[in-house]
Each structure stands twice: as structure tokens, then as C-alpha cells.
Structure 1
Amino acid sequence: MKLYAALLLFALVFLLESVTAQDVTQVISRDLFETMFKHRNQFYSYDAFIAAARFFNGFGTSGDFTMRKRELAAFFGQTSHETTGGWDGAPDGRYAWGYVFIEEQNDRQAYCDGGWPCAPGKNYYGRGPIQLTHNYNYKQAGDNGAIRRDLINNPELVATDATISFQTAIWFWMTPQGNKPSSHDVILGRWSPSAADWAANRVPGYGVITNIINGGIECGQGPHPASGERIGFYKRYCDLFGLNYGPNLNCRDQRPF
């Protein structure tokens, strides 16, 4: 009986240690989050991020500890650009100003594309960390098993519920988009470029993630300020995580997908 109890206790300790080791909180603490986003909008809370991340198996928990940190540095690098409030000469530098804006600041459009549902009076402009845009993205994100919310009829949830807001960004990160790989697979080194990708100079690295997210505007046309800003945020977070930057940060010589 004592042996059975000892084995049971050992099994429980092993299980708890395994779960803890794979939790995203082991990669980014509350203090580090506060340092990374010291000027953020308080809507984007640490608790909301952690709650959202735990809905997606493998996000920030795949590979060795260095790989986990690199995924979060890349995710935050891209989403910080999407939500940036920084400027040249900003206190603490322009790359300390990620996660300032919740909704699109420029010309807001309905983004209601044919073939997908739209709700009367609802618009599908950019919201949340990834600035989720277009009715088809709201539809697919909402239908995802991790979210399961009607974002077609309630797109404003992405700007009013912080956990859902982070969930939509992580959904986009984890999900292949058309002929594009997922950003998750790219940063983990799980993506193998096709012959067409090699011909287009789409090679593994942070730059191809920019291509996935906004390649039609930022890639294949030489240096672009938006792409450069994405790199600037990424480098800052790599520094905070104690990482090297890795290869192929830019997409300026890549043809868009």
C-alpha cells in the first residue's frame, strides 16, 4: 500500500512538472510582460494574454526553451507593429510602444467580401493585436474551436474582450492562410519552402512571417518602413529574451505569396 501511494505521488508530481514546464508562463513572466509593453493600452493585460495562449496547444510551448522564447519574440514583434503608438524620439524609444491601439487608426472600411457572411451595419476593419481584418477572417476565427464566438454578428468583441482579442491574433498566427504556411510553423523551423517559394526568395526566417501577414504591401520592393519597424520590435524582444536574431529578417527581396 505504501509503495502504491509513493508511486501515485511520483506520478502526480511528474504530471504537474510536465504541465508547468509546457505552460507559456514559464516563458514570459508578468514582470517581463510589463517591461516589454510598458506603454501599452491597459486593455492588453498579461492575464488576458495568458488565458488566450492556453487555448492554443503548442503556442509558446513547442520545442526547446530557446525556441519557445523565439516564437513569442516573433509574435510580439509582429503584433507590436500592428498596434504601435511609437515615434522617433518617443520616451524609451519607438520600440517600447507596442500594444497601444486596439482598433485600426486609418481609413476604416467595411471589409465585407463576397462569398462570406456579413451582418447588417457591421464592419470588419482591423481590431486587436493582429488587427484582424475582413469578414472571412472574423468568420473563421470565430468558428475556431478555441474561440467559438459569433464574430460576424459581434465583431466589436475583438476590441472589447481582451481574451478574445488575443485569441484572434493567436488563431491567425497558428493557422495557415491559403497558400501560406502558419507563422507558428515558420518560426519553429517546420516549414519547408516549395520550389515556387525558393524561386520567389521566400526563405525560412522572420521575414517570411511579415510576408504572410502583409506581404502584398511590404515585401518584394526593397526596404519598407513598416517591415523595418517589425524587425525593430522583434530585435528588442530578442534582446530582452537573450536571443540572437536569426537569419532572413527582411522580406524586401521576397515576392509576396
Structure 2
Amino acid sequence: MKLYAAVLFTLAFLLGSAIAQDVTEIISRDLYETMLKHRNRFYSYDAFVAAARSFDGFGTTGDLITRKRELAAFFGQTSHETTGGWDNAPDGRYAWGYYFIEEQDNPPAYCDPGWPCASGKKYYGRGPIQLSHNYNYKQAGDNGAIRRDLINNPELVATDATISFKTAIWFWMTPQGNKPSSHNVILGRWTPSAADRAAGRVPGYGAITNIINGGIACGRGPHPSSGDRIGFYKRYCDLLGINYGGNLNCRDQKPF
């Protein structure tokens, strides 16, 4: 009888641990609606959860505060990329993340040499991270969690919500060229090189802004793009009940 009880206790503990490692334990459906009050309905909660579960470690690594901080950072950055907010907007500027699905204002094709492009297709920003450039579409589509031909079908990022979220999480989890992954930065797993430190690049949320769009947002003093990303991040940290951490800005960082 004692052995049976011990087995039941162990199973319950393991089950509880598994549940605690799921993003739904941190971001419930109701919280998702609160975070993204004015989102485009394309960005469904179920699509986010399905995509998140496709990437080991996303939002499930570390202690509870670390996991919350990663999700706050992810939504902070992607909300800026898709924002429809403005000064004096209902519920505030930072309640308008995930408003746009595609890049606005007649974007270019973003067909870079050295990588394939399909005739008549454009590789402008789509989805939560606003995935752009043919090389990103190619690498994202080849990822094991996605496995779709995004070179010939880039529009899938704007028509299939789960694929759309997956491309954003792929970008988040994957080192980009000479840049660390956003995932490793927010988890504190990135150790800047001497060159990084000389360029002012230090661990923190600001380094993630540098990874995603440093050429525009970083190294220029106070910048609206960087400030907007921080505003979203702080709102989500507040909703999740965690502090912001340090080094939020990249204004003194040279781009990677």
C-alpha cells in the first residue's frame, strides 16, 4: 500500500511539473485577451499555444520569474512590430499590439541575392515578428517545427496563424548571424565578447531590440522604436507581476 501511494505521489508530482512548464500556466486565455485588447483576431490564443509548444524551452526554461520575463519580452518586441497604437489611444498605446498582420505602406520584395526567390512573390514583414527577407523565409520554413515551403508560399505567414506564430518563435529561439538568440539573452545565457562590451552591448532587454532591429533603434540616443518596445514590455511585466530587470534600452549600443 505504501509503495502504491508513493507511485501515485511521484506521478502527481511529475504531472504537476509538466503542467507548470507549459506556457498556458503563465499566459491564460483571459490574460492573453487582456494583454492584446485590440489585436487582430487572426492572432488566436490557440495558435500561440500550439506554436509555443512546438519549440522546446520557449517560455518553459528556468524558474517562474524567468519564464514570465521571457514571455513578457517576446510579446513586448512582437507587439511593437505589429502595433496599431498611438498617443491617447483607447486603453493606451500599449494595448494595441498584434493589430497588423502584414507590413504596411507598399513594402519592397526583400529578395536578397544568394537566396532563392519565387517569381511574383514578396518577402516583406508578416506575422508577430514581421518576418522579412527571403533568407529568413527560407530558414524558417526549413525549421523542423515548421517544415513548409515559405519561399513559394510566403503568404502562409499571414494566413495560417500557427505558422505565423511559429516563424516569430523560430526567430526568437535562433541565433541570427553574429547575434545571439533573443531566447538566450533573456535567460541570461549570453556572455558578451570583448567587442560586444566595447560596443556597449550588454545583457538585457535592450540587447534583444538590438538583435531584432538594431540598425534603426540602437546607438542613436533615445529613439521612438526602442521606447515603444520598452513600453510594451513594461506593461506585460506589470500584468505578470515581475520587475523589469536592467539594461532595457539600446540607445548607447552600437548595432550588431
Q: Which residue of 2 aligns with 1:82?
A: 81
Q: Which residue of 1 aligns with 2:134?
A: 135
* 1:124 Cα offset (Å): 0.3
Using the size of structure 2 for normalisation, the TM-score is: 0.97
* 1:218 Cα offset (Å): 1.1
1:199 aligns with 2:198: yes
Percentage of matched positions with identical amino acids: 82
Q: Which residue of 2 aligns with 1:117?
A: 116
Aligned length: 256
CA deviation vs aligned residue, 1:18-37 (integer Å, no higher than 9, x gap)? 21111111111111111000
1:124 partner amino acid: Y
Cα distance in 2 for partners of 1:95, 1:191 equals: 28
Cα distance in 2 for partners of 1:17, 1:32 equals: 21
Q: Which residue of 2 aligns with 1:68?
A: 67
Cα distance in 1 for partners of 2:239, 2:20 equals: 20
- Over aligned residue pairs, what C-alpha RMSD do you find? 1.2
CA deviation vs aligned residue, 1:193-224 (integer Å, no higher than 9, x gap)? 00000000001110010000000111111111
1:101 aligns with 2:94: no
Q: Which moved more, 1:243-252 or 1:206-215?
A: 243-252
Cα distance in 2 for partners of 1:139, 1:106 equals: 24
Q: Which residue of 2 aligns with 1:249?
A: 248
Cα distance in 1 for partners of 2:117, 2:3 equals: 59
Q: Which residue of 1 aligns with 2:12?
A: 13
* 1:5 Cα offset (Å): 5.0
Q: What SS class does the counterpart of residue 112 from structure 2 fall into?
A: coil
Q: Which residue of 2 aligns with 1:220?
A: 219
Cα distance in 1 for partners of 2:90, 2:9 equals: 51
CA deviation vs aligned residue, 1:30-68 (integer Å, no higher than 9, x gap)? 111110001100001111100000000010011100000
Cα distance in 2 for partners of 1:72, 1:144 equals: 21
1:52 partner amino acid: A
Q: Which residue of 2 aligns with 1:32?
A: 31
Cα distance in 2 for partners of 1:10, 1:122 equals: 56
Cα distance in 2 for partners of 1:228, 1:193 equals: 23
Q: Which residue of 1 aligns with 2:42?
A: 43
* 1:107 Cα offset (Å): 3.2
Q: Which moved more, 1:8-17 or 1:26-35?
A: 8-17
Using the size of structure 1 for normalisation, the TM-score is: 0.97
Runs ≥4 residues deviating over 4 A: 2-8
Cα distance in 2 for partners of 1:220, 1:205 equals: 15
* 1:87 Cα offset (Å): 0.5
* 1:144 Cα offset (Å): 0.5
Q: What are the ranges of 5 or more consecutive residues in structure 2 without an aligned counterpart? A: none
CA deviation vs aligned residue, 1:87-142 (integer Å, no higher than 9, x gap)? 00100101000000000013311111111111111110000000000000000001
